[in-house]
Every structure is written in structure tokens, then in C-alpha cells.
Amino acid sequence: MSRIVVALLFGGKSPEHEISIISAKAVAAHLDKEKYTLFPLYISRKGDWYEGNTAQSILDLDLAGLLRTTSIEKTASLLHSMTGNRDRDRFRFDFKQKDIGLALPVLHGSYGEDGKVQGLLEVFGIPYTGCDVQASAVAMDKEMSKICAAAAGLDVAEYMAVSSSDYVSDPESVHDAINERFSVPFFVKPAHLGSSVGISKVSDISVLPKALDTACRLDSKVLVETAINGREMEVAVLGNDKLVASPAGEIEPGGDFYDYTDKYISGTARLHIPAKIDPNLHASLKTSAIRAYKALGCSGMARVDFFVEEENDRIIFNEINTIPGFTDISMYPMLMEASGISFSELIDKLLLLALEKYSR
């Protein structure tokens, strides 16, 4: 039986570009080479697609090591230099001519996790892993995901959505509205980004303008959200109809909160898998994760993030990630491993779920 050609899509136009490359490298290492043929497809920050030696050379980089020893700007410059004058390796969207039978997008954030690439693959008739266009788009919008979760009976933190254009045109009115509604500490975050990119914790109201400026430069919509005094819990969900929910894992941040540096560079956060919590709370977290997954219409996979309030163990839905991190220190593959599914088995199951969904 011939091996299925799997297009591994990585890079992308979002601020999570480098994390996507690191995730893709880990996925490639765990792909069953006896069943599948890897076809790397690198998408540059400008949105150009590359195959062949260009894509493979970027996939081979030790980007995690580079991020620990140099700046993101220098890393971005290196990646840009590796695609210069590489017209021979530009991908011409000839999926069928390349015998591509499956796509595995490992694209975090906008232009990858938000339904855009999923829609493109559907136009070309290529089965792909993860959620469909609608679920991807809804889950990517932090406000819409909270609306869906709340409609399904889950608790959400108090929040306020701010249009970036409204903020730019009248920042004082936005400042006043936030001051009237929220007491410090609270968070300001882009509505459509992940990996904690652009998130600020406002513990002093004087830093609010800087926090809003940072988030509004990155996104058209920003969320202001009250800070929860609680523990951070995550549950991995796998499946289309028959769902597997992992044990809950707890994140103990190395700093004030679990930010980009803590996740991917310093590695000072402590991860507890399974979380050291009461069995009843554990069961409730798994039930809540499946409820959120179904409410948003997810398929394939997602990681569901919660807060658990310290004083009463109330579970509060935070967000859902339809293409969670797949680095060696990412929670989703580690949570699945705690469920008895190894990294390699996980990749295989995701590809089989993609074929199952497409066959319908």
C-alpha cells in the first residue's frame, strides 16, 4: 500500500510564526514515515508559500535554541534571508499534482488557526486535520468563544470588547469606560491571537494606555478581562464524534502570568500533569471541556483552558485553541500522553480523523 503524502503547513503570517515552526519540527519528527510521506510547506510572514529545500531547511532549524540565544527580530531576519530568490521552491498550489492526500496545518494564530487556510484546503478538496472553517473562526475570536461557552452554561470572566478603531479615534472615552467597569488587576489582550502574544496585565491604571496600544497594534478587536484569582487548568480533547478528554493539567507560571517568554523561551513555568486536584473537580473539568468543544462545533482536536477559583473551585472558561502548540514542552501532546496516547499515535489519530471527517 502506497504511503499518503501529508502536507505539513507551518510558518504563517501571524506573530506566532516562530512557534509554528517549532511545533512543525516536533510533528515532523513524530510522523510515521512507514505510513506517510512528509511534504513540508513553509508560509513566510509575507504569505508566500515554499516547498522543497527551502521548506525543509527552515523545518530543520533549531529555532527553539535560537529564540533562547538571540532576539525575535534577528530570528525573523534569518528566516527572511532563507527565502530570498527562491522562486524555484515556490509552491504553485498544485496539491493534486504533488499527490498530496492530507494536510496537517500547524499554523498558530491568524491566517492559519482562524478558518482561512481551512477554507482554502476545502476549495482544493484536501482533507485536513483539526476543526472546520466555522469552528476555527469562532474559536479564534475570544469574545465569540466566550459567548458560545456561556450559552452552553459555562461560567466566563467579566470582560469588555473594544474596537481598535474606536480606541484610536477616541482613546480617552475607552479609558473612561474601562475605569468605570474594572478594578485592577485586569488583562488587556488581542481578541484573535494566541501564545499570549500582545497580552498585558494591568496592575496599575497608569499602564493602561500602553497595554491598549500594544494590543490594538496587533488586532482589530481587543478584550479587557478581569483577573481571576485562581489556578490555570487545561484539558486536551481529541475526536470528531467519539471524544477523548485528557486529564486536566495545571500550569504554575514562572512569572506574574503565563506569558510568551514563560511558554517558549525561559521555560520557568511548572506543569503538573495530572493536576493535583480533587477527583470530583477533575471530572468536572473534563465534562466542561467536552461541553465547550461541542458548543463551538469543534472536530479533530482542541485544548480548552480554564481558571479554577481558589476560594470555591468554581470553573471559569478562559479560551479554546483549535491548533494548540505541538512543541516538546506543549501541554496538548503531554496531556494526550497522560491519556495513554503517545505523540506519534496522536499525529496518526489526527490524520485518520481528518480522513473520517472528509469521507462524510
Active-site residue list: 73, 195, 264, 303, 305, 319, 321, 325
State whether 52 and 86 are in the same domain. Answer: yes
State whether 283 and 148 are in the same domain. Answer: yes
C-alpha cell, 211: 497595554
State whether 150 and 41 are in the same domain. Answer: no
Domains contained in the chain, number: 3
State whether 289 and 150 are in the same domain. Answer: yes
Per the domain annotation, does 134 fall within a domain?
Answer: no
Asked if residue 216 lies in contact with residue 191, where contact means CB atoms within 8 angstroms, the answer is: no
Average model confidence (pLDDT) across the chain: 92
CA 262 to each of CA 43, 256, 258, 267: distance values in angstroms, whole numbers, following the listed order? 26, 10, 6, 5
Please determine, for residue 261, whether its predicted confidence score (pLDDT) is greater than 70. no
Confidence of residue 259 (pLDDT cuts 50, 70, 90): low
State whether 192 and 66 are in the same domain. Answer: no
Asked if residue 292 lies in contact with residue 314, where contact means CB atoms within 8 angstroms, the answer is: no
pLDDT tens-digit readout, 162-183: 999 999 999 999 999 999 999 9
CB atoms within 10 A of CB 310: 11
Q: Which of 257, 262, 255 is nearest to 307 (CA)?
A: 257
Q: Which of 59, 61, 84, 83 is nearest to 7 (CA)?
A: 59
Question: What is the extent of the structural domain holding 120?
Answer: 4-128
Per the domain annotation, does 104 fall within a domain?
Answer: yes
Which of 226, 256, 282 is at the close of a domain? 226
Q: Which of 121, 140, 131 is nearest to 302 (CA)?
A: 131
pTM of the entire structure?
A: 0.90
Residues 92-100: contacts with CB within 8 Å, 24+ apart? 93/49, 93/124, 95/7, 95/124, 95/125, 95/126, 96/124, 98/5, 98/7, 98/39, 98/51, 99/5, 100/5, 100/6, 100/7, 100/39, 100/126
Per the domain annotation, does 306 fall within a domain?
Answer: yes
Per the domain annotation, does 332 fall within a domain?
Answer: yes
pLDDT tens-digit readout, 29-75: 999 999 999 999 999 999 999 999 999 999 999 998 888 888 888 88
Which of 188, 210, 226 is at the close of a domain? 226
pLDDT of residue 85: 63
CATH number at residue 313: 3.30.470.20
pLDDT of residue 73: 86
State whether 286 and 147 are in the same domain. Answer: yes
State whether 118 and 233 are in the same domain. Answer: no
State whether 151 and 298 are in the same domain. Answer: yes
CB atoms within 10 A of CB 358: 15
Per the domain annotation, does 52 fall within a domain?
Answer: yes
State whether 218 and 240 are in the same domain. Answer: no
| Cα 358 from chain centroid (whole Å) | 23
State whether 144 and 272 are in the same domain. Answer: yes
CA-CA distance, 344 to 360, in Å (whole number)?
Answer: 25
Which of 185, 208, 226 is at the close of a domain? 226
Per the domain annotation, does 261 fall within a domain?
Answer: yes
CATH number at residue 216: 3.30.1490.20
Cell 462524510 maps to which residue? 360
Per the domain annotation, does 133 fall within a domain?
Answer: no
Looking at the chain, the whole-number percentage of residues with pLDDT higher than 70 is 94
State whether 88 and 221 are in the same domain. Answer: no
CB atoms within 10 A of CB 344: 14
CATH number at residue 86: 3.40.50.20
At residue 178, the 3 state secondary structure works out as helix
CA 329 to each of CA 57, 93, 251, 262, 324: distance values in angstroms, whole numbers, following the listed order? 22, 33, 12, 11, 12
Regarding beta strands 155-156 and 315-321, do their DSSP bridges make them parallel or antiparallel, or are they unpaired? parallel
State whether 238 and 337 are in the same domain. Answer: yes
C-alpha cell, 195: 501564545
Per the domain annotation, does 329 fall within a domain?
Answer: yes
